[in-house]
Amino acid sequence: MSGAETYYVTTPIYYVNDKPHIGHAYTTLACDVLARFKRLDGFDVRFLTGTDEHGQKVEKSAEAAGMMPQALADQNSANFRDLAARLGCSNDDFIRTTEPRHIRSVQALWSRLVEAGDIYPGHYEGWYSVRDEAFYGEDELVAGPNGGKLAPTGAPVEWVKEPSYFFRLSAWQDRLLAYYEANPDCIGPQSRRNEVISFVKGGLQDLSVSRTSFTWGIPVPGDEAHVMYVWLDALTNYITAVGYPDQSGDYARWWPADLHMVGKDIVRFHAVYWPAFLMAAGLQPPKRVFAHGWWTNEGQKISKSVGNVIDPVALIDRYGLDQVRYFLLREVPFGNDGDFSHRAMVTRMNSELANDYGNLAQRVLSMIAKNCGAAVPAHGEQTDEDRDMLGAAYALAGRMRDSMNRQMFHEALEAAWVVIRAANGYVDRQAPWALKKTDPARMGTVLWVLAETVRNLALLTQAFMPDASGRLLDQLGVPETARTLACCGAQSALAGGTPLPPPQGVFPRFVDEEGAG
């Protein structure tokens, strides 16, 4: 095993009550882009995704479908696994909470919490939302139709009264606040961090961590009338996948996770309950939780009842995989909410991918093919403009690395586009086509500067658009072994005389059926 620095990144595990939608694809893609970027940057990466299969919500969905919960879980878990493959995801593992390795891990964690004195038996009486799989205090509820009450998320709630074990969350308030204080990067973006801190400062109640009114869950060790609260079960997946309860080997290597990527609705579970469970068990909390925003569809909230759920596979079929990957991570500042619209998608595809990036690569590669004997041109003395262009291309790796470390995907892509636009301006000003007769050596230098710029761009866009970027690197004659981020910069520059294959466009324009867009 290499001595490289490790990077462990996780998606939430998805409920198997339903089909995958754009929200799932979004989180998974963001993690994939990060995982790929880190691998290219020399890290030893572990990227985990999977499915959350227990709990009342899944049990009820199975009942409604006339299926056994395990059968429903098997069917829908496969859909999530297939989606990850369709998204081109490079996950190293796919965990299911019904697997024996996970049941063993959750029961071991439970026993640790009991030994630590942080779990005690009692009775729960209060509100529960099956849709959110969350307990709510009276003061959190909002008015619903016909004088009824709803969860703050708009989900229905029901009154629950049953024997339950509790986790002593109230005892962890100060230690959680100290953890946030000592680890300024442990929650991002800043707005979510503030939200979590003020929630914890508001006081914490002990948390009900077992249920007795249904059976689809992991039995509580020593008291099989109880199944564990699905969130305690689900969160534990992150340590199961690195071998817990065995704390040597993989666990020692990968834990604490570098990043749990989550949607904004599940921050509280990841940034309050999870670190408290871990610290109570004597384990380290994750290094960072980052919460992204939510997508709407053509300005409307996405909901099954409205019937406007976006199927990520349909998007890929219509627009192309690299295009969808690019759009989702470029369209909104990561962390904010965003709107998916056909028009916005086509604009990004046509103006940024086809016109800016695609055109740049096409122009450069076809001029080289035509005028330089289908080989990387030799280059001579450089002008200030050449040096500026190359300087911008060579500085890009550092810029993008910095943005990626803060999960600012849109910022990383914008930095690449600053270079792409600068390169298009440079081509126009240098007009290499006009130099062919007057100064062929100068033409060679200009085209070399441009090819070198495209090489650096393609290396850095690989994580976002693996297929198109790979094809650009093929066309530049860059061998597979020279595609890491360590090859950005002058030390791995294209060598004059390297033979090149015939150029091919990699970013087609989207032509709307109706001629719109």
Helix (H, G, I), strand (E, B), or coil: what is residue 415?
A: helix
How far is 504 from 81, CA to CA, in rounded Å?
Answer: 32
Nearest to 241 by CA among 94, 445, 111: 94
What does the angle CA 496 – CA 498 – CA 501 come to, to the nearest 5 degrees? 135
Check residue 43 for interaction with ligand ME8 (CB under 6 A).
Answer: no
The minimum distance between CB 234 and ligand ME8, in angstroms, equals 4
Check residue 192 for interaction with ligand ME8 (CB under 6 A).
Answer: no
The minimum distance between CB 54 and ligand ME8, in angstroms, equals 10
How many C-beta neighbours within 10 Å does residue 497 have? 11
170's tokens: 């109230």
Indicate the DSSP class of residue 131.
T
**Among positions 8, 9, 23, 277, the unique one binding ligand ME8 when judged by CB under 6 A:** 23
Q: Please choose, out of 6-14, 36-44, 209-217, 341-349, the segment that lies near ligand ME8 by the rule CB under 6 A.
A: 6-14
**Among positions 7, 8, 26, 167, the unique one binding ligand ME8 when judged by CB under 6 A:** 26
Check residue 456 for interaction with ligand ME8 (CB under 6 A).
Answer: no
The minimum distance between CB 301 and ligand ME8, in angstroms, equals 8
Edge-to-edge strand list for the sheet holding 338-340: 300-301, 295-297, 338-340
Counting residues that bind ligand ME8 (by CB under 6 A) gives 18
Q: Please choose, out of 7-15, 64-72, 139-147, 355-363, the segment that lies near ligand ME8 by the rule CB under 6 A.
A: 7-15
The minimum distance between CB 100 and ligand ME8, in angstroms, equals 19
Q: Is the Cβ of residue 263 or residue 444 nearer to ligand ME8 in the bound state? A: 263
Q: Binding pattern to ligand ME8, positions 265-304, x when CB under 6 A?
A: xx---------------------------xx------x--
Nearest to 362 by CA among 178, 505, 200: 505
Q: Is the Cβ of residue 208 or residue 475 nearer to ligand ME8 in the bound state? A: 208
Applying the rule CB under 6 A, the residues between 300 and 329 that interact with ligand ME8 are 302
> Looking at beta carbons, which residue is closest to ligand ME8?
263
Q: Phi first, then psi: what are they for 237, rounded to 5°?
A: -55, -30
**Are residues 160 and 259 in contact, defined by beta-carbon separation less than 8 angstroms?**
no
Nearest to 264 by CA among 289, 301, 233: 289
Q: Please choose, out of 9-17, 170-178, 239-247, 356-364, the segment that lies near ligand ME8 by the rule CB under 6 A.
A: 9-17
Applying the rule CB under 6 A, the residues between 226 and 245 that interact with ligand ME8 are 234-235
Check residue 24 for interaction with ligand ME8 (CB under 6 A).
Answer: yes
**Among positions 7, 8, 9, 14, the unique one binding ligand ME8 when judged by CB under 6 A:** 14
Check residue 27 for interaction with ligand ME8 (CB under 6 A).
Answer: yes
How far is 238 from 43, CA to CA, in rounded Å?
Answer: 19
Q: Please choose, out of 21-29, 199-207, 249-257, 478-486, the segment that lies near ligand ME8 by the rule CB under 6 A.
A: 21-29
Q: Phi first, then psi: what are they for 10, rounded to 5°?
A: -130, 150
Question: Given the structure tokens 């004659």, which residue do they identify?
Answer: 477
**Among positions 186, 262, 367, 457, the unique one binding ligand ME8 when judged by CB under 6 A:** 262
> In angstroms, what is the C-alpha Rg of the chain?
26
How far is 120 from 165, CA to CA, in rounded Å?
Answer: 5
Q: Please choose, out of 262-270, 316-324, 402-410, 452-460, the segment that lies near ligand ME8 by the rule CB under 6 A.
A: 262-270
**Among positions 7, 8, 15, 165, the unique one binding ligand ME8 when judged by CB under 6 A:** 15
387's tokens: 């040096």
How far is 472 from 358, CA to CA, in rounded Å?
Answer: 10
Q: Please choose, out of 20-28, 40-48, 365-373, 443-451, the segment that lies near ligand ME8 by the rule CB under 6 A.
A: 20-28
**Among positions 34, 38, 41, 52, the unique one binding ligand ME8 when judged by CB under 6 A:** 52
The minimum distance between CB 23 and ligand ME8, in angstroms, equals 2
Helix (H, G, I), strand (E, B), or coil: what is residue 341?
A: coil
Q: Which residues have C-beta within 8 Å of that of residue 185, sequence separation ≥ 6?
A: 287, 288
The DSSP-derived string for 158-213 is EEEEEEEEEE-GGGGHHHHHHHHHH-TTSEESHHHHHHHHHHHHT----EE-EE-S
Q: Is the Cβ of residue 24 or residue 36 nearer to ligand ME8 in the bound state? A: 24
* Interface positions with ligand ME8 (CB under 6 A): 12-15, 23-24, 26-27, 52, 234-235, 262-263, 265-266, 294-295, 302
